[in-house]
Structure formats: structure tokens, C-alpha cells
Amino acid sequence: MHEYALAEAVLRAAARVAREQDLARVTRLEVAVGELQQISQELFERALTEVETASDPRLEGLEPTVTIVSAALQCRACGATFAMGEAAGEQGADEMEAIHFVPELAHSFLACPQCGSPDFEIEGGRGVTIAAMEGVTDDA
């Protein structure tokens, strides 16, 4: 499953950082997920907790948190920046789902709320990153 593969990749990266920083244990891990990343937040959170115990003793007992990061849109015509939900245009549930699968389709369904141009850039809102990580060293 997609979420489990991603969870494994994130935790492998976290374990590597922990090793490099000589951490005995990771106490906090915040994972940021772009809203355009096709992923179930609930399933991903569960995957992070289930995968972690098997992967590295440094991650034992860790309860990673997942935050969703909104995509930012910037109009190429007038320079206005706006969020997906602020865009002008008719957005039914079907359209929004299509946009989440194929972000490039946003241009067919959305327009700048200021000038109505469908010509905008999509910044952020994609990918999975480690937003924050804390841990303790052995002698702490």
C-alpha cells in the first residue's frame, strides 16, 4: 500500500538522521504532507505507528504526527496568491478529486479570485517531508 511504502521511507530517513546526529531515541517526529499528495492522512498516521516499531530501536514508542500542508497558488497575470479553496470557478467534489490526482488539471477548473485568469503556478502542496524532529542522546 502506498501509505505504508511512504511511511517506511519517512521512518528510514528519520532513523538515518537519528544515527547521524547520535540520537539514542527520537522523541518527536512531525511529518508534513502536501494536500495534493494523494494520501489518506488517517491511514498514513496508522502506517507510521505500525511500521516504526519494526524498523529501528531509536524510533521505539514514537508517535509521529502528520500535518497537511496547503498548496499555494500564484497568479501569473496579476501576482495574487491564493489557496485552492479561495480560487474562483465552479469546483464540485468531482473536480476537486480530479485536481488532487492530477494537479495540472487545476488550470481547467480554477481561476484567480482577483482577475479571473486560469494562468497560475502551483507552489507547495506536494510531497512528504519531515517537518520537525527531536530526540535525546544517550548522556542527556
List residues near Zn ion by CB under 5 A: 75, 77-78, 80, 112, 114-115, 117
Minimum distance between the CB of residue 22 and Zn ion, rounded to whole angstroms? Answer: 49
- Residue 19 or residue 76: which is nearer to Zn ion going by CB? 76
31: alpha, beta or left? (left if phi > 0; alpha if psi -120 to 50):
beta
- Residue 43 or residue 80: which is nearer to Zn ion going by CB? 80
Minimum distance between the CB of residue 75 and Zn ion, rounded to whole angstroms? Answer: 3
- Residue 72 or residue 77: which is nearer to Zn ion going by CB? 77
Minimum distance between the CB of residue 87 and Zn ion, rounded to whole angstroms? Answer: 10
Nearest to 135 by CA among 55, 52, 63, 28: 28
Minimum distance between the CB of residue 109 and Zn ion, rounded to whole angstroms? Answer: 16
- Residue 115 or residue 136: which is nearer to Zn ion going by CB? 115
Helix H or strand E segment including 85: none
Nearest to 31 by CA among 51, 48, 43, 52: 48
